[in-house]
Amino acid sequence: MAIIVNLDVMLAKRKMRLNDLARAVGNTPQNLSVLKTGRARAIRFSTLDAICHVLDCQPGDILEYRPDEGEGSP
Amino acid sequence: MSTHPDRQRRIRIVSNIIRVVALLGMISCLTAILGYWLLPEPPRITSGGNWKAAHEWLNRPLVSLVLFIPFVGLLIFYQLMGCFARGEIFSKVTVRSVRWIGSLMVLWWLIPMALQGVLLLLALEGPRDVEFTIDGTLLGGILVFLLAWILEEGRQLQEEQRLTI
């Protein structure tokens, strides 16, 4: 997939651990790990909203589109 | 798999009841196969003819083979119900099990006809008429294959849901 998740970058910038983020957004560390490692197929707006709120960032800070790296197919 | 607890409990109860019935069916099949080998003069497959003396020995193995198919089907069905009881409804194992059951149903329809043809050619003396019928077993097997495809679709949707954060 050509969508890259830069959650680890934002976590490092905010000096926050994944477990703390999971607790703050009301999700499990396992689910956020799936997101962080790029294995997620989709993300709900509610989850994205919660993550951006906690990390005080924009969706574009977490999600990036790189057509060269992914297959770019649905 | 996230399922409503009451629904999961009902699925577990019904699956376990069906597992007991399947287990009794398997025991019956094994008993029938064993009894068939132990009987001094077992009933014979005739297919409208009489056995040639040199080929009479084929009767017991062939009947055992035919009885073994429902045993295997019931075993797979027993395992499938076990998956349902554990909450694994849309999984690779259940899809594979349902596909196997469909295959065995089609085989259960096909084998008697094939046997009839082979036996009339080789081992039996009598009119050489082979009966070809399309019955509920074949149609049921095709329906079960269709069910396997639908379950596979459900599995992929569940997987997609699981990977939606």
3-state SS track over chain A: CCEEECHHHHHHHCCCCHHHHHHHHCCCHHHHHHHHCCCCCECCHHHHHHHHHHHCCCHHHHEEECCCCCCCCC
Residues A58, A59, A63, A67, CA torsion sign: negative
Residues B68 and B33: beta-carbon distance below 8 Å? yes
Q: Is B2 on the interface with A (CB under 8 A)?
A: no
Q: Which residues of A touch B2 (CB under 8 A)?
A: none
Residue A49: predicted pLDDT: 96
Chain B nearest-CA residue for A50: B165
Residue B136: predicted pLDDT: 86
Residue B28: predicted pLDDT: 92
> Which 72-91 residues of chain B touch chain A by CB within 8 A?
none
CA B48 to chain centre: 26
Q: Is the pLDDT of residue A74 over 60?
A: no
Q: Which residues of A touch B160 (CB under 8 A)?
A: 41-42
Residues B144 and B101: beta-carbon distance below 8 Å? yes
* Residue B16, token pair as written in the block: 């376990």
CB contact under 8 A, A35 and B165: yes
> Which 54-73 residues of chain A touch chain B by CB within 8 A?
none
Q: Which stretches of chain B drop beneath a pLDDT of 50?
A: 1
Max alpha carbon distance in chain A (Å)? 34
Residue A71: predicted pLDDT: 52
Q: Is A43 on the interface with B (CB under 8 A)?
A: yes
Residue A53: predicted pLDDT: 96
Q: Is the ipTM of this complex over 0.85?
A: no
Strands, E assignment, chain B: 50-51, 124-125
- Among A63, A13, A65, A66, smallest CA distance to A36 is for A63
Chain A nearest-CA residue for B157: A41
d(CA B160, CA A41): 6
Q: Is A33 on the interface with B (CB under 8 A)?
A: no
Chain A nearest-CA residue for B163: A40
Residue B4: predicted pLDDT: 82
Quick: pLDDT tens for A1-49.
789 999 999 999 999 999 999 999 999 999 999 999 999 999 999 999 9
Q: Is A31 on the interface with B (CB under 8 A)?
A: yes
